[in-house]
């Protein structure tokens, strides 16, 4: 595993500061414009569309980070949703975020995007909202 990947897997400070910025839409909007020159509102609109997925949809969210995508899910949805991340720190944050939203049907898996532990065609949809740096 590269030094960068290992740092993302184990670093509490980097993981939580990055995650904190993404969790706060206003902050992410400012940083998105300053750092990447992008409008992050499309990012949050896309996440909101997760609430429209039909029952039975199988979703892989990798890397899930701290669970920013969970804001688009509804507690009563009937999805097979796997939130996977390389970092145990991020998975703990994601679990807390799911609990905060009352979503108790998410499966959490420690996994590396470069070595997925899933069979081909396991998922109907794969989302990655905050993990471009992992690819």
Q: Which residues of 70-90 are buried (b: 16+ CB within 10 A; e: fewer)?
A: bbbbeeebebebbbbbbbebb
**Phi-psi bin for 123: left (phi > 0), alpha (psi -120 to 50), beta?**
beta
Phi and psi at residue 35, to the nearest 5°: -85, -45
State yes or no: pLDDT of 71 exceeds 60: yes
According to the model, what pLDDT value does residue 43 have? 79
**In the predicted structure, residue 22 carries a pLDDT above the cut 90:** no
pLDDT tens digits along 112-126: 988 999 999 999 999
Work out the average pLDDT over 57-81. Answer: 95
Residue 73 has pLDDT above 80, yes or no: yes
Residue 62 burial (CB < 10 Å; 0-12/13-18/19+)?
buried
Give the single-character DSSP code of 2. -
Is the pTM value of this prediction over 0.85?
no
């Amino acid at each position: 595993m590269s030094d960068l990947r290992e740092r993302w897997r184990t670093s509490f400070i980097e993981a939580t500061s990055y995650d904190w910025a993404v969790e706060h839409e206003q902050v992410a909007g400012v940083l998105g414009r300053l750092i990447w020159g992008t409008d992050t509102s499309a990012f949050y609109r896309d996440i909101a569309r997760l609430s429209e997925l039909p029952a039975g949809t199988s979703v892989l969210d990798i890397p899930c980070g701290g669970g920013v995508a969970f804001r688009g899910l509804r507690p009563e949805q009937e999805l097979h949703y796997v939130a996977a991340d390389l970092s145990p720190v991020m998975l703990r944050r994601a679990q807390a975020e799911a609990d905060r939203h009352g979503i108790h049907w998410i499966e959490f898996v420690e996994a590396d995007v470069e070595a997925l532990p899933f069979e081909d065609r396991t998922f109907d949809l794969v989302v990655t909202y905050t993990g471009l740096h992992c690819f």
